Amino acid sequence: MKVVVQRCERAKVTVDNKIVGSIEQGIMLLVGFTEGDNSKNIDYLVDKIVNLRIFDDSNGIMNKSLFEISGSILSISQFTLYADTSKGRRPSYINALSGEKAINLYDEFNQKLKNKGVNVETGIFGADMKVDFINDGPVTIILEK
């Protein structure tokens, strides 16, 4: 499981010119799954994400978590995180988990974030999404489990 964490001032995702998810200050996540991912991986990364101290305190030091700033999450499914570009010029996505299995894990991941008390907005799994956000910092962190 791979998650790209991006601190943002605001973020939104549109499908067919309709906003389907939108947040103000918080984190935008790009989330991908591979074979062998399970609830244990999800639990680890959910805990890591909500407690990651990447927001500024009053001294401008990244010392606060998402909880401490009452931030939100925009979660976007992203199978291309598992692109293999080692051969040729066209990426292979053979390492990305198939849609049916991945959507179940993605739904579980988002529900577990919500269970932590976080406001979570999402895109639409498998849709052609347009993501618009302002990366704050910029702060971008890649997590993998």
The CA-atom distances, in angstroms, between 39 and each of 43, 44, 82, 109 are: 6, 9, 19, 8
**Annotation says 80 is catalytic:** yes
99-130 residues labelled b (16+ CB within 10 A) or e (exposed): eeebeebbeebbebbeeeebebbbbbbeeebe
Closest CA to 27 of 1, 45, 39: 45
* Catalytic member of 6, 14, 55, 79: 79
Torsion angle in degrees (nearest 10) through CA of 35, 44, 29, 93: -10
**Annotation says 25 is catalytic:** no
Strand partners, 7: 27
118 vs 71: CA distance, rounded Å: 8
22 vs 39: CA distance, rounded Å: 26
* Catalytic member of 6, 14, 34, 78: 78
Active-site residues, by number, are: 78-80
